[in-house]
Amino acid sequence: MDRLTVTPTPAETQTPAESPTIPPSPTESPTPAPAPTAASPPTPPALRYDPFGPDRNCGDFRTQREAQAFYEAAGGPARNSHKLDGDNDGVACQSLP
């Protein structure tokens, strides 16, 4: 009698079907905050007098700001040709409003 050898075959394994890949839902990227900007200095008032014209004194100006704009246009502390900065601190006509 012949011997019959039976070799078991592995059971068929079922590969799971690939599920469709779902792309991630788009999310809104946070909008970056605008970079802080330095506040620009106020525009100096228009000059009523020629900075290189005749001599002017603090009484010729209505405000310190107006005198300061004139003083800076005339050369500021480097020149002080109109003597608007009595204490040489870079600020013209400090007694004006």
Do residues 86 and 92 touch, judged by C-beta distance below 8 A? no
Query: Structural domain boundaries of the chain?
Result: 46-97
Judge if pTM exceeds 0.75: no
- 92 or 33, higher pLDDT: 92
pLDDT band at 9 (very low <50, low <70, confident <90, very high): low
Residue-wise pLDDT for 32-63, tens only, equals: 777 766 666 667 678 988 888 899 999 999 99
Residues in CB range of 88: below 8 A, 6 or more apart: 77, 80
Residue-wise pLDDT for 68-85, tens only, equals: 999 999 999 998 889 999
